[in-house]
Amino acid sequence: MSAGSQTFDTTVDFLVVGSGGGGMAAAITAAHRGLDTLVIDKGATFGGSTAISGGGIWIPNAPTLREKGVVDSRESIRRYLDIITEGRVSADRLDAFVDKGPELMELLDRSPHMKLYWVKGYSDYHPEYDGGRPLGRTIECKPFDTRALQDDERYQRPNSMKGPLGLWVTSKDYHDLAMVKRTWKGRKASLVAAWRVASNVIRRRHMAT
């Protein structure tokens, strides 16, 4: 748009400002519904703060959880959210999250590029509260070779905690690696980490989690 005028170079049905997880999910939803969609970002790379987060997704009754038998009643989820938000989030927003969140995950679950899995054992932050789960409901993406992004790979915001020599670690891996000096699972995880580094070098992969 030129300064001081209302003349636009591009006109779209749905404009998304910001390329984090929320913006990208909105864009995918709009495009799925047939809207001409454009994502813009003030940064030189895309991904927003989501790109440097832990990457966990907490949406009860998402398809990935239901497939594993992790199913919750709507009432229990709302009770849990009411407790942890302490009245600081409106009922309308909580209802939208509970009712529409699984629908969004059903849409994302159809993607051939992103595969999700349940991080069993990564507990809810307050499993002691009514509606909380000790085994957790966090899901995350399976490791992904960013070479598949082709030219767009260079514009992806890099993770600020990237492992040495291309080492990639999931939330479940981190749980085991943290116990490397105490458990056999931890020792096994360290061997897996060493294998990943070696395989990345040989296969020239750019793995990300």
pLDDT at residue 3 in the model: 55
In Å, how far are 58, 66, 161, 170 from 54, measured between CA atoms? 12, 22, 10, 9
**What is the tens place of the pLDDT at every residue in 89-105?**
999 999 999 999 999 99
Beta strands 37-40 and 116-118 are unpaired
Q: What is the reported pLDDT for 7?
A: 75
Average pLDDT of 5-15?
86
Give the position of tokens 């070779």.
Answer: 145
- In this prediction, residue 4 carries a pLDDT of 62
Position 160 scores a pLDDT of 72
Instruction: Determine the pLDDT at residue 2.
Output: 54
* Residue 150: predicted pLDDT: 93
Checking if the pLDDT of 111 tops 90, the result is no
For residue 170, the model assigns a pLDDT of 82
What proportion of the chain, given as a percentage, has pLDDT over 70?
Answer: 95
Mean pLDDT of the chain: 90
Write the pLDDT tens digit of every residue in 31-49. 999 999 999 999 999 999 9
**Residue ranges of the domains in the chain?**
9-51, 54-142, 144-154+162-209
Q: Provide the pLDDT for residue 108.
A: 92
- Contact at 8 Å (CB) between 137 and 122? no
Indicate the pairing of strand 57-58 with strand 37-40: unpaired
What separation, in Å, do the N-terminal and C-terminal C-alpha atoms of the chain show? 37
Q: Is 108 exposed, middle or buried (0-12, 13-18, 19+ CB in 10 A)?
A: buried
pLDDT in tens, 180-198: 888 888 888 888 888 888 8
CA pair distance 106, 104, nearest whole angstrom: 5
pLDDT for 16 = 98
pLDDT in tens, 74-90: 999 999 999 999 999 99
CB 60 within 8 A of CB 77: yes
